[in-house]
Amino acid sequence: MHRRSSILMGLVLCAGFPAALAAQSLNIDFGSAGSTPSATYDAAGGVGTWNSIGVLQPFVRAPLLNGDGSSTGVEIYMFGGTQLLEVDIPETNGDDAALMDDMLIGFNDPVDVCIWVTGLANDSYEVLTYAMTPGDPATISPARVDFATPGPTNVGGAWPGSHIPTITFARHTITIANNRIALHSGTYNGGPFQSGINGIQIRPLSASNTLPELHGTRLLGAHPNPACGEQALSFVLGERVGVALEVVDVAGRLVWRQALDTLAPGSHAVTWTGVDARGQRLPAATYFVRLHDANGGIAGSRKVIRLDKH
């Protein structure tokens, strides 16, 4: 385990905000320069230029680029994040490794890791906070966004093979009127335990924004997999739409289906317990989960393995 540290001193003071521009779309990776995801990597939020941010001293603000690589007038600053934790996760590679194999950490002594993004257009946003501690699945980071929905969300676990809500990231939505979003990992004055953030994605939800759109509807996968009992079937929507989840056997026969009414853009998950349409337990076997979009087309298919015993 390799740690690079920079000790923070002093207090964070609020200053004036830069003039807000059109709604911004921002991807932020906390780590060393040279280990930043490519602009074609969407993680669980959307493609676009990734900003590489290390440990920032108090009062120091770093400018952020928009998803299309242009200047924004938006800045980031922090307090409580004291080190970069960098660990090689054998199961990750490429852009997944660039985002998840390092993170900004702090030790809640006495504050949590606090991040402020200022100069944003006043708008409604989706905020994805990646907070899976590399090399330590047992560490859980309570991620929260001030005044957002939902409240604090615990994030942590082993890398599941793709981005899964509450395992690799937390999703929040917020409407701002002060040009600023405040994010935190950990619990204020919660004792000397580690908390951290791998990265952040901030996506405008307004229909009028002309920046890169939320990526289209797609199926992320199942977690845990293999499994007995519950499996979370996770997917992402790029627009407000209704979809359907289906499970078929290796012969293509439909065994389970759940239609979902219109859902908001962003990340979602449905629990499947390994039963068929009648609620009967299915045998241990390999199945395939499929996500159907609003037009009835298949927006993704993933293999799931059941280990249930009768």
From CA 231, how far away is CA 239, in angstroms rounded? 25
Q: Is the predicted pLDDT of residue 185 greater than 90, yes or no?
A: yes
For residue 215, what are its two tokens?
């990526």
223 Cβ contact list (under 8 Å, min separation 6): 160, 164, 167, 231, 232, 234
Residue 97 DSSP label: H
| Entry field: residues in the chain | 310
Could you give the C-alpha distances from 260 to 195, 223, 270, in angstroms and in order?
A: 35, 20, 10
> Are the C-beta atoms of residues 51 and 68 closer than 8 Å to each other?
no
pLDDT (tens digit per residue) in 126-163? 899 999 999 898 888 999 999 998 889 999 989 988 88
| C-alpha–C-alpha distance, residues 212 and 217, integer Å | 15
CA distance 228 to 169: 24
Domains contained in the chain, CATH given: 2-204 (2.60.120.430), 218-306 (2.60.40.4070)
Residue 38 CA, distance from chain mean position? 16
Tens-digit pLDDT profile for residues 44-63:
888 889 999 999 998 799 99
pTM attached to this predicted model: 0.67
pLDDT at 210: 37
What type of residue sits at position 219?
A: L
Banded model confidence at residue 20, pLDDT cuts 50, 70, 90: very low
Contact call for residues 149 and 105 (beta carbons, < 8 A): no
Cα 115 from Cα 48, distance rounded (Å): 21
- How big is the CA angle at 87 (ends 227 and 67), to the nearest 5 degrees? 85
Instruction: Give the separation between CA 176 and CA 171, rounded to whole angstroms.
Output: 16
Higher pLDDT, 161 or 217: 161
C-alpha to C-alpha distance for 155 and 170, rounded to whole angstroms: 7
Q: What is the mean pLDDT of residues 278-304?
A: 83
pLDDT higher than 50, residue 11: no
**69 vs 199: CA distance, rounded Å:** 17
Residue labelled with tokens 């076997």: 285
Look at strands 26-30 and 50-53 and give their pairing. parallel
Using CA atoms in the order 69, 71, 76, 81, what is the torsion angle rounded to 10 degrees? Answer: 40
Q: Which one-letter DSSP state was computed for residue 178?
A: S
